[in-house]
Each structure stands twice: as C-alpha cells, then as structure tokens.
Amino acid sequence: MYPVVLLAAGESSRFWPLNSKHKTLFYLMGKPLIWWTIEGIKRAKIKKVFIVQSPKRDIEKELKKNKIDGLEIKFITQEKPLGTGNALWQARNYLKSDFFVLNADVLNTKEILEMMKKKIKKGTSLLAGQKTKTPEIFGIMRLKGERILEIVEKPKKEKAPSDIKVVGVYFLKPVFFDFYKKVKKHIYDFEDALSLYVKKIETRVVLVKGKEEETPSFLKYPWHLFNFRKYLFDRFLKPKIEKGAKISKDAIIQGKVFIGRGTKILEGAIIKGPCYIGRKCLVGNNSLVREYTNLEDEVLIGAFAEVTRSIFQKGSTTHSGFFGDSIVDQETKIGAGTITSNVRLDRGEIFSEVKKERIATGLKSFGTVIGKNTYIGTKVNIMPGKFIGSECKIGPNSLVIKNIEDKSYFYQKL
C-alpha cells in the first residue's frame, strides 16, 4: 500500500491571530484538525504516514495526547520554514515507491484518497482538483481532457487556463525529487518542480466532488474554519449527554447536541443544535447557544449571553453579550455586554485585513477572530471582520474598527 506524506510544518502566517501554533492544531469537536485528517487517512486503509513538522514538534506532542491506533506514523522535522518543496524533500529517503502527498488541513481525506486509489494506473501520477471561482489565489491546472499539461500559479482571473484548482493532494513518483533538484530554491519551488514534472510524467486530474465553499480542503485564513466545522458537524456530530453532565430541568436542549462530562447547563439556558459543548463547560442562566456553535473544554458562557455559529477554544470565557460568527482562541476572557457585530449595515460581503492586504471573505455574516490570552473589557463593540491579536488588553466601552496587533493595549474613549 502506498504511504502518505503529511505536510504540517508551515508557519501559518495568514492564520493570524490563531497562529501561535500550527493551524491544524486548532480544535473542533474535541480533537485537533490534524487528528481528523489522519483519521480520514486511516479510514482510507492507508497504513503508513510520514508527518513533516517544524522544530517545535508541536504536532508530535499533540498527537501523542490524541492517539490514533492502526497506523505506522513517523515524524520528520523541517528545520527551517522553506516551503512545501523543502518539507517534502526531508522525507525523500523514506520514499522508494509511489506515494501520496497531502496538506495536513485536508479533512476530506478519506473521500479524496479513495477516489484517487481507483484511478491509479502504472506509469501515471494524479493530482486532486476542484472547480474554483477564485483562480487568482490558487495553482490552476491547464488541461487536455484529464491530462494535466501545466500548473499556473495564481493567474489573473481573466487569464486562468481553467477553473480547476490544485487541492493539495498528490500521487507522485520518487522521480519527482529529480525535478525538484533542478529548480531554483524559493518558498514556492514545489510548484515549479510540479510544473516540470507534469510536462514529463503523465499526470491526470481527479476531480473532487462538492461545492468549493463546502469542502474542507483549504485552511488559509481563520474564517475557513467555519467550513471545516460544518463538515465535521454534518458528518460526525452525534447527540449525546455524557455521564456527569448536569442539565437543569429548566434548560432546553433542542436538536443534535453533544454535551461533555462535567459540563453544567443552568436554569433558563437554551441550546439549539447542531452544537458541540465539551467537558467542564458552563452555560449560564438564560443564555442562548445555537446553530453550529463549538465550545471546547472548560469554556464559560455567562448569563444572558447569545452565542451563534461561533467557535470557542479551551478555557475561554464570556459574560453577557452577543457573539455571532466569531472565533475565540484559548484562555481569552471577555467582559459583560460585549458585542461582535457580524453583518454590515448594507448587508454586503465582509472584508478582512490579512498581512496588510484587504481580503474578500466571501461571507455576509462574520464577526471577529480573537487570539489567545486576550482580555476584553465590558461593553466593547467589535466591527465585522476585525481581528484582535493574542495577549491583548482591550479597554471597556472601546469600539474596535481596525485589527489590533498581538500584545497591544487598546482603549478608545467614546
């Protein structure tokens, strides 16, 4: 059986303010994202996985806490963040036959790998592809039927050779490394080598089913987590109240809801599924938690709060307020009366700033993203699509109309 090389060594710089660790270590439904990817590999009946990680070895440490049986896993270190090509190069000595390469953020691995395995023919390589509406941010395939002639990196929309993007799942031969040796080394040299490779080695596209916006195979920006959450909830969330959870007889639980051991749901609280609530959480009196909300372990939602379509990491707390379409990293504390505005007045598409570039999110409902260990005072208002970094302190009554960088003190007197 063909081995898989799983690439998980990048800096995740566009994932700010959630990039204090590798983006695939973000938790959904009680597990880091990379666990879900590896579980998909296992279900596709792959037996051997090589995981390329950074010198922090945070992937290795986290997976030891979330063990997956039935797989032979070897960890390989990429000492410097020199791109995908260099990461794959670190595994070359272990790859003596054809192999799969996956980005660690491809959650639908089982479906893609099973499709590709059916298409394997002697002498042929394969790339997973999918239709896209935004070719300018992807590698795009030039095709002749199913044959890939060239990979064009981030073409202008009007000059794109097709509407089929490279998804991040590859079936390659060891000879790929001969092509890699020939290209000039830079952060995107994998794409350069791949373009040379497909011109010489017959390579065909395997089209991924489903709409682009509903497929969890691209985790570049924080808001892409919403698609990943929906994918996991729709397929794997089961209604269950674990032993040791305490639910008030005056609370209301509706729909598909998971509630973990030691969690307390107090009087008057309403939980409308699908929702995931981890262990040792507290949902306060008369609070409303609804619609694709994910609360990891030890999250506290205070009395009279409304939380909808939002994701809270371990140990984060809120008091009263509204939290819509928002993401809060671990151990962040939010004061009473805080509002995350999640729609524009004109109901138009929401834009966010990432690395000083204005990016269209494709969303008309999007609140905020807040990094870890941040403290937010009472009655703070945060405008749609604005981010607050890690280890910040936001003064009471502040209006956040721009991104707040890590370790900032921000107070705006009204």
Using the predicted structure, report yes or no on whether residue 401 has a pLDDT greater than 70: yes
Spatial distance between the Cα atoms of 73 and 67, rounded to a whole number of angstroms: 11
Spatial distance between the Cα atoms of 175 and 264, rounded to a whole number of angstroms: 57
The model's confidence at residue 47, banded by pLDDT at 50, 70 and 90, is very high
Spatial distance between the Cα atoms of 75 and 356, rounded to a whole number of angstroms: 34
The span from the first CA to the last CA of the chain, in angstroms, equals 64
Q: What is the pLDDT of residues 114-152, one digit of tens each?
A: 999 999 988 889 999 999 888 888 889 989 999 999 888
Q: What is the pLDDT of residues 35-46, one digit of tens each?
A: 999 999 999 999
> Taking Cα atoms as reference points, which of 316, 312, 342, 317 lies closest to residue 327?
312
pLDDT the model gives residue 64:
86
β-pairing verdict for 257-259 and 240-241: parallel
**Lowest pLDDT segment from 189-203, 288-302, 326-340:** 189-203
Task: Work out the mean pLDDT of the chain and round it to a whole number.
Answer: 93
The model's confidence at residue 414, banded by pLDDT at 50, 70 and 90, is low
Q: What is the pLDDT of residues 164-205, one digit of tens each?
A: 999 889 999 999 999 999 999 998 889 899 999 999 999 999
Residues carrying CATH 2.160.10.10, the chain:
233-410
Class assignment of domain 233-410? Answer: mainly beta
Residues carrying CATH 3.90.550.10, the chain:
4-227
The model's confidence at residue 217, banded by pLDDT at 50, 70 and 90, is low
pLDDT the model gives residue 73:
93
pLDDT the model gives residue 187:
87
Q: Does domain 4-227 have CATH number 3.90.550.10?
A: yes
The model's confidence at residue 53, banded by pLDDT at 50, 70 and 90, is very high
The model's confidence at residue 154, banded by pLDDT at 50, 70 and 90, is confident
Note the pTM of the prediction, 2 decimals: 0.92
